[in-house]
Structure 1
């Protein structure tokens, strides 16, 4: 490849990301620019939940109540436009990816590596959620307690 072609290739927009992924990256860039207080971040998170379709909104509202009850010291914020909860170091411990975010058939509640849910050489870090009833709430509470260790 000639130098001219390499330069043109490096400046052309990437076709590797979908429109939804590019939108999520733009949301993340916006979040990084905003140095918001915990109250402002929670306000943004609540606003994002309010924008969700009804099924996702119901899950997100319940999940927010669970996380703030079990882990009141976590910092509620948005992460790539999704509800997330960070530790004192600002690292995301857990997050909710709404089903509508990428057109999935279920929402995903996930944990990042700071949660240290390690169990042997392989363990789950993300969980599909079609609804959030008492049985799922009990599991989520237990996972959060383990993640907070």
Structure 2
């Protein structure tokens, strides 16, 4: 993430992400059930459609994998990231595009509600620099494990 010039406070990118999250919450305020889910799905698809290059490839493929392997998860956005939440609305996994914070690669991330626990330490974020068959296979396995 980009740092502020004096090393204190939030960067401009972080402030923009917070404003985006506030807007996400405003757009679903008062909505319930199917109407809220439809609005959140639309926002997720719009977020994916706005991406380019490897960001688009990863987000599009991950969206398809989640739909195939974890159909009970609900697409939405979180800080503008394509995200997937459980029935309680808790985000389980999301894609952080490299373009969001001008990083070297997009990441696929799993939050605490993902069932990836493996002993005393395990990875929850995966950098993707190329979308190969092996990468897609690994992502599919992670999605399956996360919701098992």
Q: TM-score, normalised by structure 2?
A: 0.86
The aligned counterpart of 2:3 is none
Q: Secondary structure at the match of 1:95?
A: strand
User: Gaps (5+ residues) in structure 2?
Assistant: 1-7
Aligned-pair RMSD on alpha carbons?
Answer: 1.5
The aligned counterpart of 1:30 is 23
More helix by share: 1
Larger Cα-atom Rg: 1
Query: Aligned runs of 1:1-149 on 2, under 5 Å?
Result: 15-35=8-28, 37-149=36-148
Q: TM-score, normalised by structure 1?
A: 0.86
Q: How many residues align?
A: 136
The C-alpha deviation readout for 1:44-84, integer Å capped at 9, x for no partner, is 11111121122211221111111111111100001000100
